Structures are given as C-alpha cells and as structure tokens.
Structure 1
C-alpha cells in the first residue's frame, strides 16, 4: 500500500481537484486509525466548504463514513425490511420535537424506526439533547441494545456511537467549531451516512429554510435537497424530502426538558401547536405511504391521526424510553423527572398589534446564552432552562401580554434573554397571512 499523507488529500481539495473514491475512503479510514489529526479534519472540511464536492464525491464520502463502523443487520429480528424507515431534519429552532413525536407515532402504525441523530448545533437543538434529558436513557448504546430497542418499541432515537458511523462523530465535532456546519456536501454525508449505518430501507427528511434554519432561503434549501436526493439515488436509498419554511420557532418551547413536556403533552392529546401538528402528520403520512401501510396520502393521514388520538403513539414513546433505560412512568409523570428552573417569568409585549416577524435565529442564540444551547461542542446543556408559550406569526397580542415565558437560572440571565427576544419579535398593526409549513417536495421515487 502506498504511503498515506492526509495533506495530499487536503491539498487536492484546496486546489479544487475532484477526489477519487479511493482517496476519500482512505482519508476517512485514517480518521478511525488515528492517522488524521483534528487540524487536518478541520482543513479538509474547510476545503470542502469553500470548493464544494461533486455528487459522486459526496456519495463516496457518505459511504466511507457509513463503513467506518457497524451497519445494523436486521435479519432475524422479525421486522419486515421494507418497514425499516427513518425520519430526519436538517435542523431548525425548536424542530427537534418533531422527531420525538413522529417516531412513536409511525411505530404505532407498524413502522420500525431506528434513528441515529445528533446534538444541537449553533442556534438549533438536537434530538439527542432531548433524549439525554430523560434520566437513564442510553444515547450511545451498543448496536445490539439499539437493535433490541427498535424490535421492542418500534422506534429508538440515539446519538452517534463508537460503532455506528464513528467517522461522522469526529467530523461533526470539528464542523461545529470551524464554521463549516453549513457545507452542503458535509451536511449530506453526515445525515445519510448515519441513516445507511442504521440499515434503513428508506428516509423521509425535512429540509428547513428561514431564520430558524441553517439554510436561510428556499433556493438554498432546494440546493441541499437536490444534493441529498442525488446522493441517496447513488446509494440506492429511497427518499422523500419535504422543504419546510422555518421563519419562526417550531412549536411553543425551546429547552430540553421544556420541549419534552411539549412532546408528551402533544402525544397525550393536550396542546398541539398547529405548525408542529401539520408537519408531524405530513411526515408520518409520507412514511406510511413509502412502506406500503397506506395506499394514499389521505389514507395515511387518517391512520396517523387515529393512532395519535387513541393513545398508542404515547404508549410507543414510553416503550422507547424504557427500552433505552429510562423511567417506566416518565410519560405518565414527567414533572417528577423534569425540575423547574429557579426563575420562571413572563416576558411582556412592549406593544399592541399582531406578531409580524420572529427572528428564530436570534431567539435560538438567546437560548444559547441561557445555557439551553451550546457555544462550544463540548459545552454541557442546562436542561431546565429555555422558554415556553412562544407567540407565533399572525398572533394578536396586547401590550403587557406575554411574548413567551422564560425559564432561567438567574435574574441576570432573564434580563439578557428578555432584551434579545423582545428585539427579535416585530409587532405591527397588520395581521400577516399564515404561511404553509411545507412549501416544496423532492423525491427519489419519481
């Protein structure tokens, strides 16, 4: 074997050369072997960010990252292969709730969902942060524990593990601290490598844009969606990708345990914020049609709504939590496990009118300041802080009524967050039209 020099691969990509499949695979193998330093990973990700990658390069990176560890084998599990489907999102302020609702909901309908997710990046949270906020839940279980959790509950949401796409975890950490999070090829490879490592037969993925997402415009989200679809085709993975507008936070809450309360309330038949409900039902319907459990979107919608209403989705959520080591009564008694922050107080509106705009990015950054998000990839979250009761675009509000309820560790934290969130919300005299949540769709199936 010829001498491997990581700098040669970095130099080639820096010089806008197209990398061979073999060069990419050797670089990823070098990460696992300890032959590539964090500095070299950072240089590689920056070169990819600045110069891009072809679909074939991105597919090669995806498959090499998948093969950096185990690929889950579902044979002998009793699960029909065609029902093993995953759901993912490119991230957005507050949208990690959606996965924790969709997974148990479609599991109740007969789908098996092994989800390898991630922690929060920048102004957005992550599904793993929510799972980790439940005591005892294993977020990096053995491959066998992960497999058995899916068999037992129908769904399991975990983070990167030492055995499933480990190269992605190394690259993901570096991306977060080197300003290369937004690279479309790296986003594509990160997402799809984990999905392929889980051994899924299909993927429904929401690609988000707007102030709360990593892609600020529809055009940029469409480019990312096209990249995902192109690489999924090369990898032989059926995929449907709704394009989702996220110019405000998704749902009513931000903060790990506050969002978990929102998830449990939603699954229990309590408050269901309209945008989250629309997205949950649409994604669930896409999944049910993909696996053949429904012949049409209308039939799939009825099936999803029935299992949401009859309590079976909540039961699957509890089974998922228990199968990963969490409390057996968490869904029935969440407040026993989710302590309140020391300061809980409303943030009053400075004016009367209609909510015309919400800068979801600014809101997310304010939550990072509270400790509900990360400044550095190594930061530990404060799982009890955040916000609830957030207003949405089009809401009528009177001066003094709450824009949201802030949950803070100190009065100083409250004051800082209050200034930032007040500045992030525009109130005017004209009620704006409510925009649809889903504004586009691409698929490998057409």
Structure 2
C-alpha cells in the first residue's frame, strides 16, 4: 500500500502490493465535496493520490449498479495495484464492498459467540470441516461462508458436496435455524452478500491484479463483515503450495488483515501456517471428509489436530470465552476426544440436506464403512520409494497439480469434479523408508497414471540422510490485534 500524494505534487514511487502506510494527518473536515466522476477517480489514484471514503463508496456503487464500464473497473484495479492504498482507504473499500448487499443479522444475545475462520487455501486443508462443529460444541455460533477450489488448492464446499445430498446454498433464515439448532453451518456465498466482491474478483482474475494486498484484504474481510462476527481467525498459508511463498510475504497480508479488521471494529487474529507439505495424510474430496471424521474421532494425523486446536483456541480466547489460548485449545481438543464435535457435524449434515441415516452412518461408522458410503475412484495405484532415506518433505504442489489433472480440480468455472480422486500419504515427514516401500496411494478414475504424472509424483518425495525426526507443527506464528497480547 502506498503513501498519499497531494494534488499537484510529484507522484510517489509505485509501491509493492504488500506495503501498508498509515496515511498522512489531515485537518478538520470541511463540507462534503461534490462526487467525482469515475475518470477523475481513476486519474487521482493513477497519479498516486488518496481516495476519500466518499470516492470509494462512489466507485463501489458504480461497480454494483452497472454504470462502471469494464474498462474503468480494470483501470481502477490496476491503479490500486500499482499505487497501493493506505489503511484508511482499505478500511473504506472493505466497508463499501460489505455494504453493497445484504447484511446477516443475528439475535443480540449471540454477539460474543459469533466466530469464524478463513484460510487463504492449501493442499489437504480440511480444517474447516473439523473446526466449525468443534467450536459449535464449545458453545459458539459459526456462520461459515466458504469457497470452492481455486487452482491447485482444494475448496471446503467441494469437499462437503462429495457427501451425497449436502446443500451449500442456504438462505439467511436457514442459516439462523442451523445456528440455533446445531451451532454451525458451512455455506456458499450468496450473490446477495457482498456482490461487489464477486464482480471485482472476476475482474482481478483477468487484469493481473490478483496479488494486490489491499484488494486481497478487502475481498476476504468484506465477506466476513456481513456475518456480524465477534471474532475471526485467518489461516494465512506460506510455502511452495501457498499464494505467498515466503513467511515474510504472508506476514504482510496477516498484518493488513488484522489492521483493517481493527479499523472495522472486528477482532481479527492471523495465524501463519506452513504449506510446503500437504496438511494431514489425505488429499482429495471424499478422502479429506474421511480424514476430518477421523480427527473428530479423536484420532487422525497430529498436524491436523494441532492446527484445529490452536486456531480454535485462539478464537475462543479472542472472543473472550476463555482466559488463555491454551485453555481454548484444550476445550477444542476435548470436543474431538469426547465425540461432541462429531455429533454437531452429523446434525449439520442432516440439516443441510444429507439423509439422516447416511449422516448417522458416516459419523458412527468405522473408517472402512465410511469409505464405502462416499463416492470412490475406480482404481488405486501405489508408488514405491526409489531409495533408502528419511522423508524430508512431501512436496504439496506437484502432488496437487497431478490430482488436478486427474479430475480433482477445475479448469474452468462450473466444471464437474471427480470427488473420489485423491491420494493417501502412506508415510510421514521424519519417517525412515527403505527402497521399494509404498509411500503414496493414488485414487484415480483413469486407467493408469501417465509416465509424466508418475514422474511428477515421485519428484514430490524428498529423501535425506538425516536420522528420523519428529515432524514440525505447521503452525508458525500468530499475529494479534493491538488490544491483545500473547498468552
């Protein structure tokens, strides 16, 4: 985000899309200026000037009512991408986008209980499937608005839709019923909620402005502001398979999200988590549902459980429901060990369209029984370790790209998915392997993996001569709002 410029002054040097400035001090407000026309707004931002709250509202209004031409929207997005926005501009843009459509309203008594989590996207990231019902079992209300897969990253809605009957489209009235009776829901974004975001997101996708920090921040938070939350935790991924390769770049976004959230009166914390290896040991829609259920059995991969409990603990503490993050994490862990999170998940499935008998069988069955109840792939193929060594890394990006080619992802909007396609890691990071040991099981609908696919998958396994070691937690850092300190 960039520093402001005064009219007639030399334009400042273009800022990197990740830079945030606080803006210059201004004197007492004068009479409201006349609304500027779009070409004037575009010129002002193009030349490094600062847009007022009214300017930003006018631009967003023109986007939604259709008076802004596509070329004008693209020009403004590029001006923002090159010149940046300060904190107050980004707050105003987020607020205007949030107010461009319907607002969700809940009983006043729920305010402190209303929490949510959002991830910037990863491989094998099924945290939302576990965390939403776990928080509900802790007494929270979780109106989770989730998304579909984007590129090589998986989408929460796609995973849930692999369960026969699950319906992601829920009206505000249905959402309130779910929160009253279950405590959580996981739904798709309605066109009535933050419609400006949908228009601007599509334009960003085709104008090379996806990586603009203020635009990313406003896009994410505008959808959360309409939920009227008490607290939000952002899971900001970094690493080879994440939007941001480095932890430093991810930290810039995390700080922007926390700062803009504070400017909107929303308590936002941002966790930085590693996304070089897949999260858990399963990647693919039905396989990830099965692994989420295993986590709700009190079992499953330790890295998944660790991230669920730490993110949940931070939310419970941030919303004032526990004294410390550690106490919150322990409460979330208890819902996994005692089955109460799984019970909430079963009720959520039944209320969101899944046959109650199927929901019950999925949540009470053994792993083998669950596997039979969900759509599967036609064939399985195992890959063998090419040499002796310790598993240093299983690279998430090439693994996800091959699964995308096999039908786990979309190449264009609206394309159908193959829910049974996926992969199971048969090894863990830090484990010692002998040559010829199976390390990956691929579930596919194709007759067989192609030679390039097999080669890419084998390249995902990184072996070393190290002694066996304990795999590190993906949780790296927590960025807190100004009013909170680490506990």
TM-score under structure 2 length normalisation: 0.84
Q: How does 1:44-59 map to 2 (within 5 A)?
A: 44-59=76-91
Picking from 258, 268, 271, the partner of 1:239 is 268
Structure 2 residue 339 is matched with structure 1 residue 307: no
- Determine the C-alpha separation between the residues in 2 that align with 1:414 and 1:13: 50
Please report how far the alpha carbon of residue 184 of structure 1 lies from its aligned counterpart in structure 2 after TM superposition.
Answer: 1.9
Structure 1 residues not aligned, in runs of 5+: none
Structure 2 residues not aligned, in runs of 5+: 1-32, 363-369
Counterpart of 2:59 in structure 1 is 27
Question: 1 or 2 for the larger relative contact order (CA 8 Å, sep ≥6)?
Answer: 1
Counterpart of 1:440 in structure 2 is 477
- Bigger shift: 200-209 or 357-366? 357-366
Picking from 351, 357, 369, the partner of 1:323 is 351
CA contact (8 A) 1:149 1:156 kept: yes
Report the CA distance shift for 1:361/1:174 in structure 2 as closer, same or farther (over 3 A). farther
CA contact (8 A) 1:367 1:386 kept: yes
- Determine the C-alpha separation between the residues in 2 that align with 1:407 and 1:389: 11
CA contact (8 A) 2:130 2:308 kept: yes
Please report how far the alpha carbon of residue 81 of structure 1 lies from its aligned counterpart in structure 2 after TM superposition.
Answer: 0.9
Please report how far the alpha carbon of residue 83 of structure 1 lies from its aligned counterpart in structure 2 after TM superposition.
Answer: 0.6
Q: How far does the alpha carbon of each residue in 1:82-132 deviate from its partner, in whole angstroms, 9 at most, with x for none? A: 01011111222222x001111100110101111112112222112122223
Please report how far the alpha carbon of residue 378 of structure 1 lies from its aligned counterpart in structure 2 after TM superposition.
Answer: 4.1
Counterpart of 2:392 in structure 1 is 356
Structure 2 residue 375 is matched with structure 1 residue 339: yes
Picking from 201, 220, 223, the partner of 1:172 is 201
Q: How far does the alpha carbon of each residue in 1:263-304 deviate from its partner, in whole angstroms, 9 at most, with x for none? A: 11221234x211111111111111222233322233223322
Please report how far the alpha carbon of residue 235 of structure 1 lies from its aligned counterpart in structure 2 after TM superposition.
Answer: 0.3
Report the CA distance shift for 1:374/1:6 in structure 2 as closer, same or farther (over 3 A). farther
- Bigger shift: 2-11 or 47-56? 2-11
Picking from 82, 92, 105, the partner of 2:122 is 92
Picking from 207, 213, 221, the partner of 2:236 is 207
Q: How does 1:12-411 map to 2 (within 5 A)?
A: 12-37=44-69, 40-75=72-107, 79-95=109-125, 97-270=126-299, 272-328=300-356, 329-330=358-359, 332-333=361-362, 334-335=370-371, 337-389=373-425, 391-411=427-447
- Determine the C-alpha separation between the residues in 2 that align with 1:32 and 1:413: 46
TM-score under structure 1 length normalisation: 0.91
Larger Cα-atom Rg: 2
- Determine the C-alpha separation between the residues in 1 that align with 2:205 and 2:413: 6
Question: In structure 1, the residue corresponding to 2:408 is in which secondary structure?
Answer: coil
Report the CA distance shift for 1:429/1:299 in structure 2 as closer, same or farther (over 3 A). same
- Determine the C-alpha separation between the residues in 2 that align with 1:258 and 1:7: 50
Please report how far the alpha carbon of residue 25 of structure 1 lies from its aligned counterpart in structure 2 after TM superposition.
Answer: 1.9
CA contact (8 A) 1:173 1:377 kept: no
- Determine the C-alpha separation between the residues in 2 that align with 1:188 and 1:331: 39
- Determine the C-alpha separation between the residues in 1 that align with 2:135 and 2:195: 27
CA contact (8 A) 1:182 1:215 kept: no
CA contact (8 A) 2:122 2:237 kept: yes
Report the CA distance shift for 1:55/1:409 in structure 2 as closer, same or farther (over 3 A). same
Report the CA distance shift for 1:173/1:344 in structure 2 as closer, same or farther (over 3 A). farther
- Determine the C-alpha separation between the residues in 2 that align with 1:347 and 1:5: 61
Report the CA distance shift for 1:295/1:406 in structure 2 as closer, same or farther (over 3 A). same
Question: In structure 2, the residue corresponding to 1:354 is in which secondary structure?
Answer: strand
- Determine the C-alpha separation between the residues in 2 that align with 1:37 and 1:433: 55
CA contact (8 A) 2:406 2:446 kept: no
Please report how far the alpha carbon of residue 40 of structure 1 lies from its aligned counterpart in structure 2 after TM superposition.
Answer: 4.6
Question: In structure 2, the residue corresponding to 1:94 is in which secondary structure?
Answer: coil
- Determine the C-alpha separation between the residues in 2 that align with 1:39 and 1:391: 51
